Amino acid sequence: MRSGYNYPCGRASRARLPTAPQGARRLKRPNMYFSDPFTAMQAAVDIVAGSPHPTNKVAATLFGRNVGLSRTNYWPEPILTAFGKEQDIGNSSGTVHAETACIIQAMHATEGSSICVTDPFCPNCAKNIAEAGIKKIYIDHKGFEKDFFARRGGHFQTMSMQVCEKAGVSVYELWRKDERLVPIFEAPANFVPDEDSPVYKEPIQSPTEAVFHDILAAGFKNHQKRKFAIALVSDAHDKYFALTVRAHAVTGFTMEDPEDIDMIQRHEEKYSFFQEPINRLLMYMARHGLTLLPDYLFCSQVPTSREQVNLIGAGIKRVTVGDPAKARDITAIEAMWQLSGAGILNYT
């Protein structure tokens, strides 16, 4: 395992994007929203001051062949109205992080895309980025100089970067002014991460209560006491699928490797290398451009506080919970009472 990374600058070799030789015709790329990470980063920097967060203002731009959008971290409107900025939802802040907002609001498949972030990303966003199939992360060099990073940098080095290494996500530090990139970690070409427990996707004829109940029955039979989630979704061609997903370590970590198991069992404050099933579902749907069919989302236990906030960020209003007395921790159940009491998320 690597003990350190080449940040913030200096020791790493300097990389530049290849530039076209003079006189060469520029390739036409009609589907590209941003032609390079520098313009994508500029789009994030342009909106970061508009973040409603009083101290930690962060923005991100997700870009690729099919996607191009910028978001700041923010409080979803229903949470802001009911709870304001000060109150936590369970043990989670009420904010959706900028990187995660880009992913869950992308509308098109995020697989193979890149993301620019104004600040070093937290372990939760690292996991979401990995599971959404994003392959490159660019961090603005100024993000490493902020107070926020000084306070939270430990998690970046010990957890966020390890998630990226395992998942094969390359990470670069970016200087806008002189269009310079310094690799912090570069994934080997054609790297395929370990995947112990892939999301199970099966085609269905039509999304009905009867089909949903059949899929749920199979889920209970196959997963028994493990925490799992199920969703009925449609793709861009209006084809329907059922997705079944278990809680599992984030993509790239395998239960076959003792060193991985050791890392997975290590927790740092509220962070872990586990990915909860609702978050896995949300990221899988984003990765493949799948849309949830309203009312067909199930979780065998109460989702964690963070998952519930992300559901609201994704515009989801209802989740069916198998056992509403069961959760990873008591704060998840507190979050459920808060959000159901305010009529923001319905639990059936």
Best CA proximity match to 116, nearest among 178, 33, 44, 66: 44
Judged by CB, which is closer to Zn ion: 102, or 122? 122
Judged by CB, which is closer to Zn ion: 58, or 242? 58
Smallest gap from residue 128 Cβ to Zn ion (A): 8
Q: Mask of contacts with Zn ion, 121-160, x by CB under 5 A?
A: -x--x-----------------------------------
Smallest gap from residue 97 Cβ to Zn ion (A): 3
Judged by CB, which is closer to Zn ion: 127, or 246? 127
Bond before 76 cis per omega within 30 degrees: no
Judged by CB, which is closer to Zn ion: 118, or 254? 118
Best CA proximity match to 176, nearest among 19, 46, 5, 33: 46
Q: Which of 57, 71, 97, 227 binds Zn ion (CB under 5 A)?
A: 97
Smallest gap from residue 339 Cβ to Zn ion (A): 20
Note whether 241 and 288 are within 8 A (CB). Answer: no
The number of residues that bind Zn ion (CB under 5 A) is 3
Phi, then psi, of 242 in degrees rounded to 5: -105, 135
Residue 246 interacting with Zn ion (CB under 5 A)? no
Smallest gap from residue 106 Cβ to Zn ion (A): 16
Per DSSP, 89 falls in state: B
Q: Long-range contact list for 77-83, CB < 8 A, 24+ apart?
A: 78/312, 78/342, 78/344, 79/309, 79/312, 79/344, 80/52, 82/342, 82/344, 83/338, 83/342
Judged by CB, which is closer to Zn ion: 102, or 316? 102
Judged by CB, which is closer to Zn ion: 110, or 320? 110
3-state secondary structure of 186: coil
Smallest gap from residue 255 Cβ to Zn ion (A): 25
Q: 95 is written with which tokens?
A: 């904010």
- Residues near Zn ion (CB under 5 A) are 97, 122, 125
